[in-house]
Amino acid sequence: MARDAAVKTAPPASAISDATLREFTGYNMKRAFMVIQADVTRTLEPFGLRMVTYSALAIVGDNPGLSQTQLAAALAIERPNLVVIVDELEGRDLVNRDRVPTDRRTYALRLTTEGARLLARATEAVRGHEARMIKGIGKADEATLIACLNQIEASDTGRS
């Protein structure tokens, strides 16, 4: 239904040129990322996960005992916004907020057994998503793609 609407609302859509924007890496990347985002969202939906909640589980899994501040930094989101995310994951018994005896201000975040199981299953699904996305791209080109993306990421000056 949504698909029909999208098609109908763009009668001669293919006739529209985006030549000027195609010159730029950022535009091509945004269009590619939109496809990836849509597919990964569909991929995670059966697990009741969004990109950000899946990412949070993955980071906690890789770094058991980290604090919410550290997790927020790793996810590049603000700490207030992370609180509700951890609330959600804790409410579903996917992560625990363990108290730290040496510093009672902070929590040590850890996956529960169920959280680890869900992360493993979701990661398998995301691997399937990954395979769909890079289908038709050779190993060498894929390596070049990742290297270019990492190079661009590293070019960050970080100035505000």
Q: Where are the beta strands (DSSP E) in 18-142?
A: 95-99, 107-111
Convert residues 75-114 into a mask of x (bound to DNA by CB under 7 A) and - (unbound): --xxxxx-x--xx---------x----xxxxxx-------
**Can you read off the two tokens belonging to residue 137?**
């791209």
**Can you read off the two tokens belonging to residue 160?**
């505000």
Q: Tally helices (H) and strands (E) across the chain.
A: 8, 2
Q: Which residue bears the tokens 């990322």?
A: 33
Convert residues 119-158 into a mask of x (bound to DNA by CB under 7 A) and - (unbound): ----------------------------------------
Look at residue 106 and give the partner it binds from a second copy, DNA, none, a contact being a CB closer than 5 to 8 Å depending on partner kind: DNA
Closer Cβ to a second copy, 101 or 138, answer by number: 138
Q: What angle do CA 141, 144, 147 make, to 5 degrees?
A: 155
* Site for DNA, rule CB under 7 A: 2, 8-9, 11, 50, 52, 67-70, 77-81, 83, 86-87, 97, 102-107
